[in-house]
Structure 1
Amino acid sequence: MKTYFLHKNSQSKNLIIFTSGFASHYSHFCHLKSKENVLMLYDYSELDLNLEFKDFDEITLIAFSMGVCVSARFLKHINFTQKIAINGTNYGIDDDLGIKKELFLKQCKDFSLVGFKKALFAKNLDKAKNFYFNDEDYLKNELTSLYNLCNKQAIGLKFDKALLSKKDLVFSTKASENFFNKENTKIIYTKEPHFVFFAFETWEDICNI
């Protein structure tokens, strides 16, 4: 996977790690400001990560969509101050606790970027009309990589809060509720579509939900 610092502040000893969703690009989050350090993880077409975070006093995790299951597998060794999941579950792919396996496999084979954007942004599609995305073949490979991850790795990491869209068109809201209720995680609801980030101005706003 790739990493990108959305924000760097040498005066801050706090870090926000953002594990983004499938097909995300750092340019999608440029509107969000922060006084902290914000490191984004994205592009799961290859799944390897070797990072150390020794220079920070507090580390917050914000995990979005399939980034929730990625963080549960790759970041469970980090002592986070707070962990927030957004429209995703630790399982990622599961008939009851994530995206249904049959549906995910269909996306791996017949992925449509146009259809995905409609589900991702819904009412806010026009706001994202100039967003950068990799081509469909590249994204199919990323989906396959995520499918293999969800079928081979152990589940870990307990989230403190979960922000769920009431009418999520990517992750079933019911499946997310099933998972986080089982984990006794505090659930917060939003009327925003799957991509909730247009509703916020700063990363700190998300941390304070």
Structure 2
Amino acid sequence: MRIEWVKQHTGGRVVVFYNGWGMDNKAVSQLRTDCDLLICSDYRSLELPFLPDFSDYREIYLVAWSMGVWAAANTVGKLNISPRCNIAMNGTEYPVDDNLGIPCRIYALTERGMNIQGRDKFFCRMLDGAEDAERFVSNRPCRDLPEQVEELCLIRTQSAVYKNNLKWDKIFVSEKDVIFPVMQQMNWASGKAEIKKLRGGHYPFYNFQSWEDIINF
């Protein structure tokens, strides 16, 4: 797993963000914040490369998107933090699951077809129309395809072993999500937390201007 401080030691609040599959920090680079920001990504391994120091923070907020929901559930305990709020966005704790995640057959087809064209198709499917696709040029990750393919495969194998659960305070579900199907998200989210509906597709961040917008939504 990669951990990177994007913004550090500017105040007493911090957002810990668990990114989606194949992403890097560009995925959320447009979001403003007065908080510090730590981003976790690349789930080829769930081992932490270092233990971040959160001792100066009086408020910690956890935001997890897509595959980051599963990764957060299985690693946030290692961070020794007690977030004020845990927010899941367009993902579940069961990445490959017919009832609670991405159906097994769909995941296998995605994995098998993950070449340059397949990656472009995936990014297109997670967005909501031509306007989002045009904006996403600035948020598209700068990661090599082979490591993204490896990450996709290893999420599948690791998720069969690592099945921890987390107490979520808010769960965001986009109405047009076709990556993590809405029905499966709702199956997982039912009874767990307050469910917030969002417009658009799997990539939810064009609904917000800042991290504070997400926290307060």
State the partner residue of 1:154: 163
Shift of 1:42: 0.9
Q: Over residues 30-89 of structure 1, what are the superposed CA-to-partner deviations in whole Å (9 max), with x where a residue is unaligned?
A: 111111111010112233114242221121100000000000000145311100000001
CA separation in 2, counterparts of 1:114 and 1:51?
Answer: 34
Shift of 1:193: 1.3
1:42-121 superposed matches below 5 A: 42-49=41-48, 50-52=50-52, 53-76=54-77, 78-111=81-114, 112-121=118-127
CA separation in 1, counterparts of 2:70 and 2:27?
Answer: 20
* Contact preservation (8 Å) 2:94, 2:163: no
* Contact preservation (8 Å) 2:46, 2:75: no
SS of alignment partner, residue 95 of structure 1? coil
Shift of 1:17: 0.3
CA separation in 1, counterparts of 2:46 and 2:110?
Answer: 19
Q: Over residues 135-192 of structure 1, what are the superposed CA-to-partner deviations in whole Å (9 max), with x where a residue is unaligned?
A: 3322110101111221001322111101110110110111010111042x11110112
CA separation in 2, counterparts of 1:176 and 1:18?
Answer: 19
State the partner residue of 1:129: 137
SS of alignment partner, residue 27 of structure 2? helix
Task: Confirm or deny that 1:39 pairs with 2:45.
Answer: no
Residue identity (%)? 27
Q: Over residues 113-148 of structure 1, what are the superposed CA-to-partner deviations in whole Å (9 max), with x where a residue is unaligned?
A: 111111122321111124234233221101011112
TM-score, normalised relative to structure 2: 0.89
Aligned length: 207
Letter of the aligned partner of 2:91 in structure 1? G
State the partner residue of 1:16: 15
CA separation in 2, counterparts of 1:122 and 1:166?
Answer: 10
State the partner residue of 1:199: 207
**5+ residue gaps in structure 2?**
none
**5+ residue gaps in structure 1?**
none
Letter of the aligned partner of 2:187 in structure 1? N
CA separation in 2, counterparts of 1:122 and 1:140?
Answer: 24
Task: Confirm or deny that 1:171 pairs with 2:180.
Answer: yes
Letter of the aligned partner of 1:59 in structure 2? I
Shift of 1:5: 2.2
Letter of the aligned partner of 2:45 in structure 1? E
CA separation in 2, counterparts of 1:79 and 1:129?
Answer: 35
Letter of the aligned partner of 1:34 in structure 2? T
* Contact preservation (8 Å) 1:7, 1:34: no
Shift of 1:14: 1.3
Letter of the aligned partner of 1:161 in structure 2? K
